[in-house]
Amino acid sequence: MNHASNPTPPHPDTITTREQLWTLIGGVSVRTKILGIVLTLTVVLGLGVTWEVRTVMQHNLLNELELLGHAYITDLSIRSVAPLKQGDLPALRELLTETVANHPDVRYAFIVDDQNQVIAHSFPDHVPDDLLNLNIADLSAQFLLHDYTNTIAPDGHGHHIHFENHEGHIHEFAALIADDGAETLRVGLSEARLQGVINRTTWQMLLTTAVVGLFGILAAMLLTWLLTRPILALVTATERVRQGDLTVRVPHWADDEIGALADAFNQMTCDLEVSHRAIEEKEAARTRLLAQLINAQEEERKRIARELHDGVGQALTSLLVGLKILNQLDDPAVLQAKAAELRQVATETLENVRLLSRQLRPSALDDLGLAAAVERYLGEFSKLYPALPVDFHADLPNRLPSTVETSLYRIVQEAMTNAARHSGATALSVLLTQRNGQVQAIVEDNGHGFDPDGASRAGSSVGIHGMFERADLLGGRLQIESSEEGTTIYAEIPI
């Protein structure tokens, strides 16, 4: 009786492994699968081609180096015969030196006699002892370590050896200058230039592989986007709504169930947006108005307080002290001199108050622009600080937005005032330029400098803090570099 053979049931462990593998693969998105296939093929193909090209180039270029070595040794041997017979050692040295200078691969050349004594060489001082004492027997063992070979020149009178030193791999070619002579010419060529060519080519091919891989990834991303865009758009829009973005809308891809769902989703977000927009607009308007009022008020108060404290406050204190001393004077001449001095202080204080009133809003800034306003301010600055000359240059082809001009004017004004009062400088320069959509202001002095970070942490300089705030409010940046040789304030604001 024949019995049909029953198939062997799969092992439970095999089923479990297959299910786990399928779960792992199935859990990866379609986009990741396509990107993985494209990227893997590109990398494998690119690396394989790069390795093959590098191997072929290295073989061919080293063969070329060997041919060049034989050509150089043959040419130098022929050209060295005449000066060697004539005993013209300077001409012989010049010949070797010019050969090394005119051929980038040649590192050295020298001639020795049958006693291994140097006759002429291309080195600045002398032939290194380790190079002069090389012999074929020692090098043969070294070649085995570096997987190199020792080859004999085609004419049978020379040798070609490889060794390694601090410059890399060196190929030395040696040959008798004449068949009946006892002098040997030795020329060393380096692989450095050829290895550089090989490395650059390798990097270029790797870069090409990366670019090709990038384009492959972009193509794969486009394909997956075309396949999954309706569902992914709904998922992304739902997540953005969950985060509070009610302006999101999904496109109507087709007149099917997904299209109907997209229309319902868009109508829902539209209704929510209308109801929230009115509340947000009212709140935003109130917040902006309050912030602007407080900001403007506080900035103006800080600036005026700083000016009053540094200028008028000190002058009035001096007047009070002078008046107290005045009551104690009996000599009419001294009394009259002290009164004249106090009148001078009062006059200067009045002038400072008038200057402060002009500084609250210079009319030249609105009428003529930033450069003219700074130039006019320099006139007032020179009167207050005649011992501090200012070098001013401006290259502003066009008028700037009002907010930019005002901020830069205040930054320059504050920087100049700080330099005059605190730095002890004897020279000051101001530069205003406009390039690449940026307006730059540079104020530099040669004073004793200070610690900007320490001043900011201590909160001792309201003016520096104000300069930083003015630049930040307009999306710009401000840097302060200070040392014992001086201070440079660099401000840059986009137009």
Give residue 141's pLDDT: 34
Give residue 371's pLDDT: 87
Tally the residues of the chain: 495
| 62 Ramachandran zone, left/alpha/beta (phi>0; psi -120 to 50) | alpha
Give residue 442's pLDDT: 93
What are the backbone dihedrals phi and psi of residue 445, each rounded to the nearest 5 degrees, phi first?
-130, 170
Residue 69 in any domain: the answer is yes
Rounded CA separation 378/396 (Å): 17
Which of 199, 234, 265 is the endpoint of a domain?
199
Residue 255 in any domain: the answer is no
The enclosing domain of 88 has a CATH number of: 3.30.450.20
Rounded CA separation 451/454 (Å): 5
Give residue 429's pLDDT: 92
At 390 the three-state DSSP class reads strand
Rounded CA separation 250/235 (Å): 10
Beta bridge mates, 445? 428, 487
Element holding 431 (H helix, E strand) = strand 428-435
Name the one residue in this structure whose structure tokens are 């010049």: 94
pTM: 0.38
Distances in whole angstroms, Cα of residue 295 to Cα of each of 281, 405, 411: 21, 18, 17
Give residue 147's pLDDT: 35
Which of 199, 218, 239 is the endpoint of a domain?
199
The enclosing domain of 471 has a CATH number of: 3.30.565.10
Q: Starting from the edge strand earliest in sequence, which strands make up the sheet with 118-121, in order? A: 118-121, 106-112, 184-190, 168-176, 158-165, 151-152
Give residue 180's pLDDT: 64
Rounded CA separation 135/127 (Å): 15
Helices (H) and strands (E) in the chain, counts: 14, 11
* Residues ≥6 apart with Cβ < 8 Å to 423: 445, 447, 448, 449, 450, 486, 487
- Annotate 131-150 with b (16+ C-beta within 10 A) or e (fewer): beebeeeebeeebeeeebee
Give residue 325's pLDDT: 77
Give residue 462's pLDDT: 63
Give residue 226's pLDDT: 66
Domain count, the chain: 2
Residue 412 in any domain: the answer is yes
Rounded CA separation 107/171 (Å): 10
| Spans of the chain below 70 pLDDT | 1-16, 25-28, 30, 135-158, 179-181, 226-227, 254-258, 278, 281-294, 296-297, 300, 354-355, 357-361, 456-462
First to last CA, the chain: 99
Residue 275 in any domain: the answer is no
Residue 381 in any domain: the answer is yes
Give residue 287's pLDDT: 61
Residue 278 in any domain: the answer is no
Q: Starting from the edge strand earliest in sequence, which strands make up the sheet with 438-445, in order? A: 390-395, 428-435, 438-445, 486-494, 477-483
Give residue 219's pLDDT: 79
Which of 167, 199, 231 is the endpoint of a domain?
199
Residue 265 in any domain: the answer is no
Query: Which amino acid does the sequence have at 375?
Result: E
Q: Which of 201, 191, 199, 134 is nearest to 167 (CA)?
A: 191
Whether residue 314 contacts residue 349, with contact meaning beta carbons closer than 8 Å, is answered with no
Beta bridge mates, 176? 184
Supply 40's token pair: 């893997």
DSSP one-letter code for 398: S
Task: Return the axis-axis angle of helices 192-242 and 257-307, rounded to nearest 10°.
Answer: 100
- Structural domain of residue 452, as residue ranges? 363-495
**Biggest CA-to-CA distance, the chain:** 153
Rounded CA separation 470/477 (Å): 9
Residue 384 in any domain: the answer is yes
Give residue 242's pLDDT: 79
Distances in whole angstroms, Cα of residue 51 to Cα of each of 121, 203, 205: 40, 11, 10
